[in-house]
Homo-oligomer: A and B are copies of this chain.
């Protein structure tokens, strides 16, 4: 790590920081106004995940470009002027890199948690490779208000699947303490190399690929403090974890 590089916390490189705009909690009651542009998000990383205003689609940042998996099954490149209510980004520089063959999502995630003391820290997971199967969901939100609560929008999700698909998986592991701030556990998105398939991953089986992990020292959490709807909202946290697990969970 370098001493103050002018790009992040003192004594840390920019690659040591996970940037987050918004909280998962604000999606729950439907505070879905976009409060950060894709352009601004990309200033905080070249890889990441998120959703657009109104929970419209599943966003994946790959090598500095935002790809949006839409509920009609199309994947489009996102205009930097589009906005997000919630997103993560980081500058990719793996701290662990492994070649993997023939492994399922469940087995890989179990192996990662068994082989590393990563339960209480944030880390990114990036996989590029060939997947024998990938199952995704794409929420069918609406770009313009009025917005609906997460549980309602999630009911309208579309399911997609692909076999023998080559592409990039991008996402994060967040510690349990941060449930509600983020989605605790693994939260990963996918976009195929041909940009024909993507979304929020429900399940996958990796045939062969490079699994990169990147642990972070810092979470740089940016809240939409200029959005009066966010500021004035009275959150009800009682059932939040259940709603999040249901809407963001793997199944």
Contacts and interface: CB of A to CB of B under 8 A. Distances in A.
Contact of A223 (B217, B223, B230): B217
A72 interface: no
Q: Which of A118, A176, A219 has most B Cβ within 10 Å?
A: A219
Nearest to A24: B177
Contacts of A233: 120
A232 interface: yes
Contacts of A44: 9-10
A2 interface: no
A193 interface: no
Contacts of A237: 176-177
Contact of A231 (B11, B43, B120): B120
Contact of A121 (B19, B217, B223): B223
A117 interface: yes
A215 interface: yes
Nearest to A226: B217
Contacts of A178: 181
A115 interface: no
A118 B231 CA distance: 6
A25 interface: yes
B181 A9 contact: no
Interface string A1-25: 0000011011100000001000101
Interface string A101-142: 000000000000000011111100000000000000000000
18 contacts: A9-B19, A11-B40, A25-B177, A117-B232, A120-B235, A121-B223, A121-B225, A121-B231, A177-B180, A177-B237, A178-B181, A216-B225, A217-B225, A218-B221, A218-B222, A219-B221, A219-B223, A220-B220
